[in-house]
């Protein structure tokens, strides 16, 4: 719907890849609906994935012993985080929907995207115990993980060699997004595009565009272990 803001956090090195095309389809389709779409192209930005002392501008809260979590939290409260983090947090703050677009690496997201999670979702900004899970600080937002896999759909079935794909979503969807209060829409998974024909890859893009047309009517998944492990 017009006026909705979407942030696409995108991690792929090649614009011509299927991930690049999926990202472009989302930008096009959501913009057509009148949404305001922002893309964080992590590789193009040369986004720093490492959580270091450089994330804190100025003096440390405790210069005797460096504790990243504490320092980032204190820095957030006084507006002392590095500019790249302030930028990303502003994008997250404004977004109604976060789309994460990436190829699955080793049952997880690529390091550059994990680094985005590690550095951007600071305590005080995204969560602050006991304000986590349903009372996380980013409630009223939606997230969607859209990714490609190397293995086939059969490999990621419950009885398959890789186990149910939902097992892999537990740390990403539940441990990160739901922890911060974000509601999660069903993931969008393109299985084994490398082994697909040109025709099948086109169909993957069409299916994504179709889904995006009615995305705002979707109900979030049931945020409980049952969804993942039943």
123: pLDDT strictly greater than 90:
yes
Give the single-character DSSP code of 208: H
- For residue 2, is it left (φ>0), alpha (ψ between -120 and 50) or beta? beta
230: pLDDT strictly greater than 90:
no
Dihedral sign computed on CA atoms, order 169, 174, 178, 184: positive
109 confidence band (pLDDT: 50, 70, 90): very high
Place of tokens 């550095």: 119
pLDDT of residue 78: 96
CA angle 183-221-180, nearest 5°? 25
Alpha carbon separation from 188 to 70, 77, 218 (Å, rounded): 35, 35, 13
How far is residue 120 CA from its own chain's centroid?
A: 11
pLDDT of residue 2: 80
Name the percent of the chain lying above pLDDT 90: 98
Per-chain mean pLDDT for the chain? 97
Question: Is 54 in contact with 71 (CB distance < 8 Å)?
Answer: no
pLDDT of residue 70: 97
Dihedral sign computed on CA atoms, order 96, 188, 8, 222: positive
The arithmetic mean of pLDDT across residues 12-35, rounded, is 98
CA distance 48 to 38: 19
CA distance 75 to 208: 39
Give the residue numbers spanning the domain of 196.
Answer: 5-229
CA distance 165 to 149: 10
The arithmetic mean of pLDDT across residues 70-97, rounded, is 98
E-only strand ranges, the chain:
5-10, 36-41, 97-103, 142-148, 183-184, 188-190
30: pLDDT strictly greater than 80:
yes
1: pLDDT strictly greater than 80:
no
pLDDT of residue 146: 98
End-to-end CA distance of the chain: 34
Split into its structural domains, the chain has a count of 1
pTM, two decimals, is 0.97
């Amino acid at each position: 719907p017009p006026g909705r803001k979407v942030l696409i956090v995108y991690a792929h090195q090649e614009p011509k890849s299927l991930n690049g095309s999926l990202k472009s389809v989302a930008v096009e389709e959501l913009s057509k609906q009148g949404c305001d779409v922002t893309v964080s192209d992590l590789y193009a930005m040369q986004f720093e994935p490492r959580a270091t002392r450089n994330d804190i501008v100025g003096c440390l809260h405790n210069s005797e012993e460096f504790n990243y979590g504490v320092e980032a939290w204190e820095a957030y409260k006084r507006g002392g985080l590095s500019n790249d983090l302030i930028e990303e947090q502003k994008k997250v703050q404004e977004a109604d929907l976060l789309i994460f677009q990436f190829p699955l690496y080793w049952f997880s997201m690529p390091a550059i995207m994990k680094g985005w999670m590690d550095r951007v979702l600071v305590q005080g900004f995204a969560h602050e115990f006991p304000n986590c899970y349903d009372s996380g600080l980013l409630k009223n937002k939606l997230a969607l993980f859209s990714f490609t896999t190397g293995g086939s759909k059969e490999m990621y079935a419950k009885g398959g060699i890789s186990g149910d794909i939902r097992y892999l979503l537990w740390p990403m969807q539940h441990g990160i997004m739901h922890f911060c209060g974000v509601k999660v829409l069903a993931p969008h998974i393109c299985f084994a595009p490398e082994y697909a024909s040109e025709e099948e890859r086109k169909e993957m893009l069409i299916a994504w565009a179709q889904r995006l047309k009615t995305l705002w009517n979707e109900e979030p998944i049931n945020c409980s272990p049952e969804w993942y492990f039943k």
